[in-house]
Amino acid sequence: MQMCALLWINASRTSTEREGERERSLLRLRGREEAGKRDESSSSAESFRNSFKSALRARIEWRSFIHHMSSPSTTMMRVSWRRAIVGSVENTTTNNRRARQHEKTKRKTTTTRHATKCQTSQTASFSPKGAKISGVGKALPKKFITNDDLAKLVETNDEWIRTRTGIGKRHVISGDETLTSLAEEASLEALKMANVNPEDIDLIIVATSSPDDLFGSACLLQSAIGAKGALAYDLTAACSGFVVGLVNGMHYIRGGGYENVLVVGADVLSRYVDWRDRGTCILFGDGCGAVVLTATSKVEECSLLGFDMHSDGSQNHHLTAKVCGAKAGKVWQSDSEAGELTSYDNIGMNGQDVFKFAVRAVPMTIKESLKNANMQPEEIDHLVLHQANQRIIDAAAQRLGLGDDKVVSNIAEYGNTSAASVPLALCEAVESGNVKRGDVVAMAGFGAGLTWASCLLKW
């Protein structure tokens, strides 16, 4: 603790003063460290082991930590790291002990209080309800890129892209457009249709893999639309994200307690596309779709008829946008390099493998949702799939025995908008009047993770 205190630098001093003070502190520390070395016994070896464990716990990358600790140029830093880490381990141990003691003495009271709370909730706000989609909305960036535009960048052509994917153009953010600005526009449209005020939203789920802030975009959206009473968080399940978010949102209402939930599917993957890679740059576009879920008075009026959700991390390598350097297992050499390595790589995809997976997984998950709902494929009125490739959509429809008239497709206009593609397609199908009250809508998302998910809704 004394050593840690020596490292403490008054933030109000000038940077030169701070630097001088820091140098002096570190030199003092090194002097003590050298002197202390002679007395080091097995207990210091133990504390050193603890420092490694603590470093792991603190999410300091293992190899980077070892490398940093063994580098001669960072000896002084190593001393301070070590002291700080050992200090933090000691503090944590003491704090844990205190916390356990505190917990022991309080347990009885807490248990009584918790039981009381649950009892009250069961009879009051936590009564189960049904949930329905009461509003839909969408937003797209102003700028779009055609296949001919792309043919000027990479060796491709309009005919190849249309035949192999069904895509004609894709929208990309520009100027001051962001994921949050798209989400705001789509959400306000959905809220207007649902006739729900932003202040009446209890929960906002933003399904995205490309947030404006690493800590999440949902809170930014909450602030932008003025949904002051809502809990807001991001959900990352790539192109399956919206379906997963929708099922999550439905359960918050079905389980009781929440009246209005805003579920947004939004992605701006143009930020991560390698515009030199014709295998991926032709596919992705930016966009956003949003739905408002509202509680129904009767449980049996619930729109969610069935659902099915899966992940398979062992196939993760087929579709990635990893932290830079992670692929090569690179070790950070310096703080500045660590900064560079914390951005993300471009999207990498084994197109054919993902294609084969999707063609198998989509009909399978929809059949599972149908089984849950005790329904048959022919009872589906509208098939709203993740818009990744028209050939995948057609193959899935064919395996389910559904005709073209039941297939919703807007891939020609927007390409693959990841988490946004299902709500975008749904929104357009509803706005065009194709989806009518009582219709059964089957939705499915699939993609990176790998993840795949489906649900059946009665409109």
What residues make contact with ligand UT7 under the rule CB under 6 A? Answer: 156, 160-161, 164-165, 239, 278-279, 282, 319, 351-352, 354-355, 358, 388-389, 392, 416, 418, 447
> Which residue, 248, 233, 253, 229, is CA-closest to 132?
253
For ligand UT7, the closer of residues 32 and 360 by Cβ is: 360
For ligand UT7, the closer of residues 74 and 350 by Cβ is: 350
For ligand UT7, the closer of residues 266 and 282 by Cβ is: 282
Which residues contact residue 299 at a Cβ distance below 8 angstroms, ignoring those fewer than 6 apart? Answer: 128, 129, 130, 254
Task: Tell me if residue 427 is catalytic.
Answer: no
- Rounded to an integer, what distance in angstroms lies between the CA atom of residue 239 and that of residue 201? 25
For ligand UT7, the closer of residues 167 and 250 by Cβ is: 167
Tokens of 347: 């999207």
Task: Tell me if residue 239 is catalytic.
Answer: yes
Which residues contact residue 105 at a Cβ distance below 8 angstroms, ignoring those fewer than 6 apart? Answer: none
Catalytic choice (68, 147, 219, 239): 239
Q: State in angstroms the smallest separation of the CB of 407 from ligand UT7.
A: 16
CB 294 within 8 A of CB 252: no
H or E element at residue 108 = helix 75-123
382-385 and 407-408 as β-strands: parallel, antiparallel, unpaired?
parallel
Q: What's at 90, amino acid-wise?
A: E
First to last CA, the chain: 63
Q: State in angstroms the smallest separation of the CB of 279 from ligand UT7.
A: 5
Name the closest residue to ligand UT7 (Cβ). Answer: 351
Q: State in angstroms the smallest separation of the CB of 5 from ligand UT7.
A: 52
> Which residue, 328, 366, 330, is CA-closest to 348?
328
CA atoms within 13 A on the CB side of 157: 2
Q: State in angstroms the smallest separation of the CB of 8 from ligand UT7.
A: 49
Catalytic choice (386, 389, 410, 455): 386
What is the three-class DSSP state of 139? strand
For ligand UT7, the closer of residues 17 and 312 by Cβ is: 312
What is the three-class DSSP state of 204? strand
226: left (phi over 0), alpha (psi -120 to 50) or beta: left
CB 424 within 8 A of CB 287: yes
Q: State in angstroms the smallest separation of the CB of 52 from ligand UT7.
A: 39
DSSP codes of every residue in 246-315: HHHHHHHHHTSS-SEEEEEEEE-GGGT--TT-HHHHTTB--EEEEEEEEEESSGGG-SEEEEEEEE-GGG
Catalytic choice (260, 288, 416, 427): 416
Q: State in angstroms the smallest separation of the CB of 161 from ligand UT7.
A: 6
DSSP state of 169: E
Q: State in angstroms the smallest separation of the CB of 80 from ligand UT7.
A: 45
Q: State in angstroms the smallest separation of the CB of 307 from ligand UT7.
A: 20
For ligand UT7, the closer of residues 87 and 285 by Cβ is: 285
Task: Tell me if residue 386 is catalytic.
Answer: yes
For ligand UT7, the closer of residues 210 and 418 by Cβ is: 418
Neighbours of 149 (CB within 10 A): 12
Give the residue numbers annotated as catalytic, written as ranges: 239, 386, 416
